[in-house]
């Protein structure tokens, strides 16, 4: 869905892509207001923010637009950044420069200080013929210099479409030294947005090629190796988009930081742009810790994603992708250049790890529309009323009033809109609504496909916890491939007789009822001829045998069905059409697993563990920072899905993307924490327990197939 989450963002991206298809001239971009999206209207801008600028930069990156637009908007963002070190005075000159950058009459180059090398001669993104040069000043922050104030010469770069140059200051006018400006952080986010566009091109190009390129008599997109490579690239892209999106909104939320900061009327005296910045203010740019954390996550994930995605695209393209005959090499060059300019992800990861270990956290709360106030007042009153109840009475009201699964239609839920669901989640945090477990997957299917009698019989007692459910889907010969299930349902008087074996059935030894798939028409192929049953686990012929798992727990079970009678009134949906019901159940399973095993608590636990240990080695700090960044981006992805639903934007594949990322991330966190504390009882258990996460609820491979086929349109296996 791109970096943007709203219909307005989508329209902006479409407009920019359309313009870039017709022309890539700098003046044309300026003429359409793209260079001033983030700038205040009084400076010739559009009055939006960095988030809208990132939406446009992603679209331009997707078209690999050449020229000076990126260093130009980065310079204008720096000039309008409000900081406590910005003095009174200098706004006249600043405003004139900003207006020129916005209308395209002035171009800029931005220098990036190297970790080592000659501090007086630095590499810059932009042409040596640029009008302005944003350069670091040793101990004094940054300065915006005219071409006459610098010595600039071309530099060889890997990107063939965007020039680099070496810059050395010839003179340093005092009135051109800026105050506290987070240029490094702004650059990481804007370059990350450009990189997301590059990665989006790579994913789309690889998918389209895989649909039509044939080998061994069929499209290569049917080969699982190709399919999974392209799907994994999309997952990488979505994670990077979430990171860049969150960093841009964090910067926009900085006091005075968006749209484009503020040029105050009382500042319009004198001709300078700024005073000397303190040396200790140069790093971090005066940003709050939470904002620095969000930007650091973008620094870790943003530009790296483009390098990985384009490399995968070249692999899918094969030989043609390694020639000048195809544009892939130009996108790869752009991706490498973006990563180089944004800075090695390693130091960004170390910074993230340090902030997280120090207790810094990034709040993930949606910005709600104005009409949310009245909705919140009503829901808050209901929540207060529930708090006053005794626990058992409160549980009864939860069930009767539809608070447990509020998105369900009445009377089982509250028919809550996405906005109401968000507010209920916020206002009910401390009320501890019951966790339905596997019933949370079954209930929506019974509501959608079950009869009224089935709903009234099972749902009220399920909501109060009187009925515990298990899921009888997987079999020894049919795990994720439910089309191969062998459990048979034979027609008998008044119902069906079920015979077969189920496996990996969580909590079957405690369940009262099970949702079960069985084949009612064996002559029909694959998913046809399957029926969805409700099975009483106390029925004669049901045998449950617990399985001891590698961590010593007994959660999984084998379940043997030996001529188990199920009456007709316990068939959900139509006979032979149970796969439709099962798909509905599985979709809720993936959402539930992604929520309950999401990375939020686990990467917080990692940070808390690190805070109790001696200082980590550099490699460990980098690894911890990368893991934190991945976890925070998964949380941001979840928030993006919520906001997309609120604004009516489709995010159909997000559940599989989040589930895949969350399960894989939980394993990585456990492995890393165990390596730090191998004698810890908790992490000894977790490293073993999380090994099942990429198997249960649809294996990693199944999730990649879903993403490839549903999101990218790759062909199914014949």
Query: Which residues are identified as catalytic?
Result: 589
Q: Spell out a b/e string for 367-381, using b for 16 or more CB atoms within 10 Å of the CB, else e.
A: ebeeebeebbeebee
- CB-based contact 517:577 (threshold 8 Å): no
> In terms of DSSP H, where are the helices of 175-288?
183-212, 224-252
Give the C-alpha separation, 372 to 376, whole Å: 6
DSSP summary character for residue 478: B
Q: At what angle do helices 7-22 and 50-62 cross, to 10 degrees?
A: 40
- Which 3 state secondary structure label does DSSP give 545? strand
The closest of 338, 382, 39, 15 to 195, measured between CA atoms, is 338
Per-residue tokens: 685? 């258990």
Share of the chain residues as helix, strand and coil, in percent rounded to the nearest 5: 55, 15, 35
Question: Cis peptide before 259, with omega less than 30 degrees from 0?
Answer: yes
Secondary structure, 3-state, 107-172: CEEEEECCCCCCCCCEEEECCCCCCEEEEEECCCEEEEEEHHHEEEEEECCCCCCCCEEEEEECCC
CA separation for the pair 552, 688 (Å, rounded): 9
Closest residue by Cα to residue 236 from 335, 137, 121: 335
Q: Pick from 153, 134, 161: which is nearest to 71 by CA?
A: 134
| Strand 164-169 to 122-125 pairing | antiparallel
Measured between alpha carbons, how far is 219 from 709 in angstroms, rounded to an integer?
Answer: 13
Rounded to the nearest 10°, the torsion over CA 289, 290, 296, 302 is: -160
Burial of 525 (0-12, 13-18, 19+ CB in 10 A): exposed
Q: Which residues pair with 546 in a beta bridge?
A: 557
**What is the total residue count of the chain?**
718
Q: Which residue in 93, 89, 320, 63 sits closest to 201, CA to CA? A: 63
The strand pair at 132-137 and 571-572 is best described as: unpaired
Strand partners, 514: 470, 535
Q: Is residue 215 helix, strand or coil?
A: strand
Ranges of H-type helices in 343-371? 345-357
Residue 517, Cα to own-chain centre: how many angstroms? 33
Angle between helix 618-647 and helix 289-317 axes, rounded to 10 deg: 90
């Amino acid at each position: 869905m791109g970096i943007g989450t709203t219909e307005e963002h989508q329209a902006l991206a479409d407009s920019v892509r359309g313009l870039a298809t017709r022309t890539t001239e700098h003046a044309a971009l300026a003429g359409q207001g793209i260079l001033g999206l983030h700038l205040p209207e009084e400076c010739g801008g559009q009055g939006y923010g960095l988030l809208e600028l990132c939406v446009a930069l992603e679209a331009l990156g997707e078209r690999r637009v050449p020229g000076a637009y990126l260093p130009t908007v980065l310079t204008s963002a720096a000039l309008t950044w409000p900081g406590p070190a910005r003095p009174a005075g200098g706004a006249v000159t600043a405003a004139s420069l900003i207006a020129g950058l916005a209308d395209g009459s002035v171009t800029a180059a931005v220098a990036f200080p190297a970790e080592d090398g000659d501090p007086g001669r630095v590499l810059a993104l932009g042409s040596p013929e640029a009008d302005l040069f944003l350069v670091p000043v040793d101990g004094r922050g940054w300065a915006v210099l005219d071409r006459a104030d610098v010595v600039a010469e071309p530099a060889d770069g890997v990107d063939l479409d965007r020039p680099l140059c070496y810059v050395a200051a010839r003179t340093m006018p005092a009135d051109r030294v800026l105050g506290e400006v987070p240029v490094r952080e702004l650059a990481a986010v804007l370059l990350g947005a450009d990189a997301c566009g590059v990665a989006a091109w790579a994913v789309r190009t690889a998918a389209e090629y895989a649909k039509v390129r044939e080998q061994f008599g069929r499209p290569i997109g049917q080969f699982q190796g190709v399919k999974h490579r392209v799907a994994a690239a999309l997952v990488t892209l979505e994670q990077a988009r979430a990171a860049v999106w969150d960093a841009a909104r964090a910067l926009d939320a900085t006091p005075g930081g968006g749209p484009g900061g503020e040029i105050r009327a009382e500042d319009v005296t004198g001709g300078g742009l700024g005073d000397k910045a303190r040396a200790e203010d140069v790093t971090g740019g005066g940003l709050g810790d939470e904002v620095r954390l969000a930007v650091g996550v973008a620094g870790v994930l943003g530009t790296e994603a483009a390098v990985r995605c384009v490399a995968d695209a070249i692999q899918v393209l094969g030989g043609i992708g390694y020639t000048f005959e195809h544009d892939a090499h130009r996108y790869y060059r752009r991706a490498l250049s973006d990563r180089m300019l944004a800075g090695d992800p390693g130091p960004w990861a170390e910074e993230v790890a340090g902030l997280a270990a120090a207790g810094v956290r990034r709040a993930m709360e949606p910005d709600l529309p104005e009409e949310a106030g009245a909705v919140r007042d009503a829901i808050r009153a209901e929540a207060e009323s529930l708090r006053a109840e005794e626990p058992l009475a409160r549980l009864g009201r939860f069930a009767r009033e539809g608070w447990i699964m509020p998105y369900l239609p009445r009377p089982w839920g509250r028919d809550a809109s996405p906005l109401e669901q968000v507010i209920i989640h916020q206002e009910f945090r401390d009320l501890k609504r019951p966790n339905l477990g596997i019933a949370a997957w079954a209930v929506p299917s019974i509501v959608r496909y079950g009869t009224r009698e089935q709903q009234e019989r099972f749902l009220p007692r399920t909501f109060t916890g009187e009925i515990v459910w298990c899921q009888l889907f997987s079999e020894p010969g049919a795990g994720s491939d439910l089309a191969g299930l062998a459990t048979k349902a034979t027609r008998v008087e008044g119902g069906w007789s079920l015979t077969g074996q189920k496996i990996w059935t969580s909590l079957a030894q405690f369940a009262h009822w099970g949702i079960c798939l069985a084949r009612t028409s064996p002559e029909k192929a694959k998913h046809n001829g399957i029926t969805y049953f409700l099975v009483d686990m106390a029925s004669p012929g049901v045998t449950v045998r617990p399985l001891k798992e590698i961590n010593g727990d007994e959660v999984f079970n084998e379940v043997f069905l030996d001529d188990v009678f199920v009456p007709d009134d316990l068939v959900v949906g139509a006979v032979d059409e149970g796969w439709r019901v099962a798909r509905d159940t599985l979709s809720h399973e993936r959402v539930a697993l992604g929520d309950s095993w999401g990375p939020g608590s686990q990467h917080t636990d990692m940070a808390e563990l690190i805070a109790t240990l001696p200082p980590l080695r550099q490699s460990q700090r980098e690894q911890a920072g990368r893991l934190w960044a991945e976890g925070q981006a998964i949380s941001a992805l979840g928030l993006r899905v919520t906001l997309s639903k609120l604004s009516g934007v489709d995010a159909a594949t997000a559940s599989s993307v989040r589930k895949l990322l969350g399960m894989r991330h939980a394993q990585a966190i456990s492995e890393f924490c165990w390596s730090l504390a191998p004698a810890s009882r908790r992490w000894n258990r977790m490293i073993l327990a999380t090994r099942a996460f990429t198997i249960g609820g649809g294996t990693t491979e199944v999730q990649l197939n879903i993403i490839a086929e549903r999101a990218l349109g790759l062909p199914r296996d014949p």
